[in-house]
Amino acid sequence: MLAVNAGLHQPASRLVRHHGRSGWQYYINKTEACCPLSVGLAYNPAMTKPRKKTQSRTRKDRRRSLWARLWRLTWQLALLALAILAGWLVYLDAIVTSRFEGKRWEVPSRVYARPLELYDGASLTRAGLQQELALMGYRSGDGARPGTYRQAGSRVLIGARGFQFPDGLEPPRQLQFDLVNGRAANLRVLRGEDSPIVRLEPAQIGGIYPGHREDRVLIQVDDMPAHFEAALLAIEDRDFYQHWGVSPAAIARASLVNLRAGRVVQGGSTLTQQLVKNFFLTRDQTLLRKVNEAFMSVLLEWRYDKPEILEAYLNEVYLGQAGSRAIHGFGLASQFYFGDRFADLELHQAALLVAIVRGPSFYDPRRHPERALQRRNLVLATLAEQGAISESQAREARAKPLGVVARPNYSENRYPAFIDLVRRHLARDYRTEDLQSEGLRIFTTLDPALQAHAERSVSQTLAQLDGPGGEQALEAAMLVTARDSGEVVALVGGRDPQFAGFNRAVDARRPIGSLIKPFVYLAALQQPADYTLITPLNDRPFSLVFDDGRRWEPKNYDGRVHGDVALHEALAKSYNLAAVRLGLDVGVDRVIELLQKLGVEHPVSRYPSMLLGATAMTPVTVASLYQGIASSGFNTPLRTIRSVTDASGQALSRYPLAVAQVADPAAVHLVQYGLQEVMQEGTGRSAYRWLSRDLMVAGKTGTTDDGRDSWFAGFSGDWLAVTWVGRDDNGPTRFSGATGALPVWASFMAEVPQHGFTPIIPDGIGYHWVQSEQQALTNEHCPGARLMPFIVGSEPVAQHSCPGETGRRLRHWFEGLFR
């Protein structure tokens, strides 16, 4: 060892050894005190070769350890990924099976109008027939193919479709009949099952839709028309029956086509992928969604067979938009675009539906007919190239127009006010979620032809009443029922019948004015010992003072006083003073009891002012009341629904006619006579500016203070109608019941086919010639003589003769000897 000393005599020294490279060691000897430093240097051969081998071995061991750890981590991550993937696949499979095996779609309820019945003698005009056929989606054609009709002069040919009614199947037929003087005649069934009465399928007038606003008509694979499957698979997925949900060949083929075209012209998604995207996933264009789509497509193919997947696709695919409603599935699309059932489509129609699949908005045949035609012809050419159809078939189909109906055969809700009332009636028996999702079929009482007349009468008459500039801001409501059954056949909720807002026919509670009076008189006439139609009433002023000191003094509408008047005259001319005195004599409580028996469900004020109509009611309630008078004293609840079935046609509920006799029919007959007099001689006589004098009707006007409410309620032999005219802000108008609501009513009645009102004379009624001023029986030839009904035993006893009566009797006796 070589040592170098830098100083001597260094006490308490400390030796520190340091290893150098290549085997050299050096020592530093430091003392505790500040003194010279001693340094030593030595060479150790053992520190050379062996040290290098140890370091190399250590590095290799470290590398091996690192790789081992990496491999372990890789396997752990792979196992974790596989576990996550397996869990994710289990989750996706659960989604697929739970949704696909449960109720796949929320199908809205369909609401139908009453069916058009054809038979010899049925009331039917040429315009009315065309309107109803258009509403049902029929097109002008040869009249032989289902869904077409042809009119030549008075002769009509109709290719009637079949329909599953609640009471059975109405088979397809070809019909022929003539239109003669507003009625059907010479009805013949040219093809199909013969029948003297034929029902055409009812028009769909609306639906009750789920929150997502998707609409569809469910179909099955067996419903596909000829060549439809071939067309769909040729365009959308030619390898459908070979792949397992994802088709690499289709992806490669589409990529090549798109590369050549320089843009996206063809997709690589299979039908299964399209179904998965629409049925399970969102439309987000993300990598995760595409991966999920592929996995779920494979899972769907693994779980279910091809026909089931194809059927789901047929019902799920999006094919257009109708307002806020999304049109899904080919079943609904065939009706939406062609007005035909899916199974009845021809080749060119089926090809157009397949063409629309690629882009329902871009290829919309109504907005972009040229694009749609070009795409449809491409579908036909592809079918011909693949041998699915012949070249002649393709050429014939290409020569046909698109054939799309100008307007869909039904919209979201054609008649919102009527549908609103239907929903309220359904709410008694069905939950809202069931109505929105179970595909129920609801058969209603609406008559589309009468509805059109009602809408036209309201809009045209209000336009006339408004005057220049429409300064009146008038609104109206109208309700029409079948007189004998209470079925609501038409309902208008406002001057704009398409507005789905405030429904005045159902919700507008307004004072009814003199519409209350027939019920005051009915309450009295049910006491025949005290009141008849010729009983004198006092029409003179009076006042009532209430306990709180308030004074009420009723007045007549014209401000005049009429003294003593016969009961029938007071009703016909709507005298207020006489009506109030009569009501007070009979009793306000008795009048209210009668109103409640006839259908008023809300509380009625017991103040005397209710005898002049101070109580507020809706047009629906008023119609229910007058239904009782029109039907001879029966409480006849208004009906909007005839029956409800499930989606397969199984009957769930029927709504038969339910009536109860609540008023004496003899007394009601007397009121009917009085209401006919209203129209002939009283406040309703102006109706005959519109009506034929041969049409006998009965009715009553109603007016409230300052013309704020103008009412009319009346009926013929077939229809009862109630109209209201006023302002939503309850402002005054210049109209009375005779000048506001009556013109709406009369213009409607003048348009619709009907019979005059001929009351049935009930038991216990006798007609007598009377002189009402004298309260006595008289001869029909005497001045002022009227033939009037009386409840047996209440007719006058006194006799009133007139000059010349004896001579006439002798002459009639003598003439009778020689007859």
Residue 271, helix vs strand vs coil: helix
Burial of 213 (0-12, 13-18, 19+ CB in 10 A): middle
Separation CA 380–CA 438 (nearest Å)? 37
- In sign, the C-alpha dihedral spanning 674, 680, 686, 692 is positive
Count of C-beta atoms within a 10 Å radius of residue 562? 17
Using H for helix, E for strand and C for coil, what is the string for 291-345? Answer: HHHHHHHHHHHHHCCHHHHHHHHHHHCEEEEECCEEEECHHHHHHHHHCCCHHHC
And the tokens for 264?
């996206």
Separation CA 72–CA 66 (nearest Å)? 10
Enumerate the H helices of 193-318 as residue ranges.
Answer: 228-236, 248-261, 271-279, 287-303, 306-316
- Please report where in the chains the tokens 């060549």 appear, as a residue: 227
- Cβ–Cβ under 8 Å, residues 714 and 483: no
- The packing angle between helices 588-597 and 576-586, to 10°, is 90
And the tokens for 736?
């009375």
Separation CA 200–CA 186 (nearest Å)? 17
Residue 78, helix vs strand vs coil: helix
Query: Active-site residues: which are they?
Result: 236, 514
Separation CA 532–CA 148 (nearest Å)? 59
CA geometry: angle 802, 806, 811, nearest 5 deg:
130
Extended strands (E) in 35-116: 38-43, 109-112
What Cα–Cα distance (Å) separates residue 460 from each residue in 125, 132, 480, 633, 637?
21, 21, 17, 34, 30
Count of C-beta atoms within a 10 Å radius of residue 320? 20
**Residue 702 phi, psi (nearest 5):** -150, 135
**Residue 76 phi, psi (nearest 5):** -65, -45
And the tokens for 805?
């009566």
And the tokens for 226?
């000829």
Count of C-beta atoms within a 10 Å radius of residue 800? 19
Please, which residues have CB within 8 angstroms of residue 713's CB and are 6 or more apart in sequence?
A: 515, 622, 623, 626, 699, 700, 702, 720, 721, 722, 723
How many H helices and E strands in the chain?
23, 37
Please, which residues have CB within 8 angstroms of residue 392's CB and are 6 or more apart in sequence?
A: none
Separation CA 362–CA 375 (nearest Å)? 11
Separation CA 591–CA 76 (nearest Å)? 90
Closest CA to 488 of 661, 621, 675: 621
Q: Give the CA radius of gyration of the chain.
A: 45
Continuous segment of H or E residues that includes residue 149: strand 148-152
Separation CA 35–CA 7 (nearest Å)? 8
Instruction: Give the type of residue at 623.
Output: A
Residue 123, helix vs strand vs coil: strand
Closest CA to 116 of 140, 145, 136: 136
